[in-house]
């Protein structure tokens, strides 16, 4: 009976809940995933934007939804950060109250600086920041955002003190970075690539474990700061008691997408790399990310704003 149920799923439209507004990176990628699943499974996967509280509104909605496979969360790095940042301020425990379905995409990040900053390498940047404490301003896309945490992680691992300056989105942050009102930013590669290629910003390193083909010659931070690794990610989660049959069906379809040439090309256009694996793989990754960013939040003494 359970197998038959899984084979007939979905029998009606599925809501794919996104914790950020239309036009955000999560929203754009979720629409690509939703279109694929709609075509493969024969029912609409409706994007349901529930923005606010750094993604917590969407997570809370999905946690409370029926565990029938018809309400899914398009999760991102934010859920791993929020678990500690908002600890005691939300009514759910993300790892306990959701079921991992599948990873979808990982997004590389670049450490970039204003051209007037007299540094061309990560070691030079660290030395400059140590010689000028409190004078290196770091642009972020908001307090507690992934871009903010990437910088705080770098602070903790190098002993420097970049001062965060928060913006509403990457656009105004990059504008001020180019103008020299801030000196450094950790940004997703796709947002900054054109400015780096045109020579308006200087890429010092990527945050990923390996170099990125789109930025030839740009090293990894880990080459100079052993153990530093970070990247954005997105994937699907469901309410905790969703049946394994439904989760496995969704996982198979998403993994099929991640080896499809057209789907991979669409992700690549947005700076993303396929993030395949089993539900258990994604669950272990979520736990590791929650632990990692929880340590950064606590060490940096960050509070929600």
In the chain, the number of structural domains is 2
CA separation for the pair 115, 118 (Å, rounded)? 8
Same-domain check for residues 205 and 291: no
Per-residue pLDDT band at 6 (split at 50, 70, 90): low
Give the residue from 198, 223, 248 where a domain finishes: 223
Residue 251 falls inside a structural domain? yes
What torsion, rounded to 10 degrees, do the Cα atoms 281, 283, 288, 294 define?
160
Residue 152 falls inside a structural domain? yes
The pLDDT value given to residue 243:
97
Q: In what order do the strands lie in the sheet with 202-206?
A: 163-166, 137-140, 184-188, 109-113, 202-206
Residue 149 falls inside a structural domain? yes
CATH of the domain at 239: 3.40.190.150
Q: At 169, is the secondary structure helix, strand, or coil?
A: coil
CA separation for the pair 255, 275 (Å, rounded)? 9
Q: Is the pLDDT of residue 2 over 90?
A: no
Residue 305 falls inside a structural domain? no
Q: Could you tell me the residue range of the domain that residue 291 belongs to?
A: 2-107+231-299
Q: What percent of the chain has pLDDT over 90?
A: 88
How many other C-beta atoms are found inside a 10 Å radius of the C-beta of residue 159? 9
DSSP 8-state secondary structure symbol assigned to residue 238: E
Same-domain check for residues 148 and 244: no
Q: Chain centroid to CA 181: how far?
A: 26
Q: Mean pLDDT over residues 126-153, rounded?
A: 95
Same-domain check for residues 103 and 160: no
How many other C-beta atoms are found inside a 10 Å radius of the C-beta of residue 88? 5
Count of helix runs (H) and strand runs (E) in the chain: 12, 11
The pLDDT value given to residue 5:
55
Same-domain check for residues 294 and 207: no
DSSP 8-state secondary structure symbol assigned to residue 9: -
How many other C-beta atoms are found inside a 10 Å radius of the C-beta of residue 296? 23
Same-domain check for residues 145 and 182: yes
Chain length of the chain: 305
Q: Is the pLDDT of residue 1 over 80?
A: no
Residue 57 falls inside a structural domain? yes
Residue 49's nearest CA partner among 77, 69, 24 is 24
Residue 124 contacts by C-beta under 8 Å, 6 or more apart in sequence?
118
Residue 304 falls inside a structural domain? no
Same-domain check for residues 181 and 219: yes
Q: Give me the residue label for tokens 């990894």.
A: 220
Residue 144 falls inside a structural domain? yes
Same-domain check for residues 114 and 103: no
Give the residue from 157, 191, 223 where a domain finishes: 223
DSSP 8-state secondary structure symbol assigned to residue 293: H
Same-domain check for residues 80 and 98: yes
Residue 64 contacts by C-beta under 8 Å, 6 or more apart in sequence?
239
CA separation for the pair 271, 268 (Å, rounded)? 5
Same-domain check for residues 25 and 157: no
pLDDT in tens, 29-83: 999 999 999 999 999 999 999 998 889 999 999 999 999 999 999 999 999 999 9
Q: Is the pLDDT of residue 4 over 60?
A: no
Helix (H) or strand (E) holding 195: helix 189-197
Q: Give me the residue label for tokens 């029912």.
A: 43
Same-domain check for residues 176 and 194: yes
Same-domain check for residues 100 and 122: no
CATH of the domain at 135: 3.40.190.10
Same-domain check for residues 187 and 291: no
Residue 211 falls inside a structural domain? yes
Contact criterion met (CB below 8 Å) for 168 and 51: no
Q: How far is CA 229 from CA 120, 151, 178, 223, 226, in A?
A: 20, 12, 25, 10, 9
Give the residue from 188, 223, 258 where a domain finishes: 223
């Amino acid at each position: 009976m359970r197998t038959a149920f899984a084979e007939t799923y979905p029998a009606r439209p599925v809501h794919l809940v996104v914790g950020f507004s239309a036009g955000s990176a999560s929203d754009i990628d979720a629409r690509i995933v939703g279109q694929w699943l709609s075509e493969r499974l024969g029912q609409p996967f409706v994007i349901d934007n529930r923005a606010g509280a750094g993604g917590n509104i969407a997570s809370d909605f999905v946690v409370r939804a029926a565990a029938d496979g018809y309400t899914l969360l398009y999760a991102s790095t934010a859920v791993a950060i929020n678990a500690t940042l908002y600890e005691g301020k939300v009514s759910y425990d993300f790892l306990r109250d959701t079921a991992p379905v599948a990873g979808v995409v990982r997004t590389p990040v670049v450490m970039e600086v204003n051209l007037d900053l007299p540094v061309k390498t990560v070691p030079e940047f660290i030395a400059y920041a140590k010689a000028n404490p409190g004078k290196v301003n770091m642009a972020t896309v908001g307090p507690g955002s992934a871009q903010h945490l990437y910088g705080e992680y770098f602070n903790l691992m190098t002993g420097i003190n970049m001062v965060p300056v928060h913006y509403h989105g990457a656009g105004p942050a990059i504008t001020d970075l180019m103008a020299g009102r801030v000196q450094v930013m950790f940004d997703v590669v796709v947002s900054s690539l054109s400015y780096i290629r045109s020579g308006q910003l200087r890429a010092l390193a990527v945050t990923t474990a390996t170099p990125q083909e789109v930025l030839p010659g740009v090293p990894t931070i880990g080459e100079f700061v052993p153990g530093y690794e970070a990247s954005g990610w997105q994937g699907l989660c469901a309410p905790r008691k969703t049946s394994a049959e439904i989760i496995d069906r969704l996982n198979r379809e998403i993994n099929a997408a991640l080896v499809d040439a057209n789907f991979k090309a669409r992700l690549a256009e947005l700076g993303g790399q396929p993030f395949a694996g089993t539900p258990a793989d994604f669950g272990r990754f979520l736990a590791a990310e929650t632990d990692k960013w929880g340590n950064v939040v606590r060490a940096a003494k960050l509070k929600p704003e």
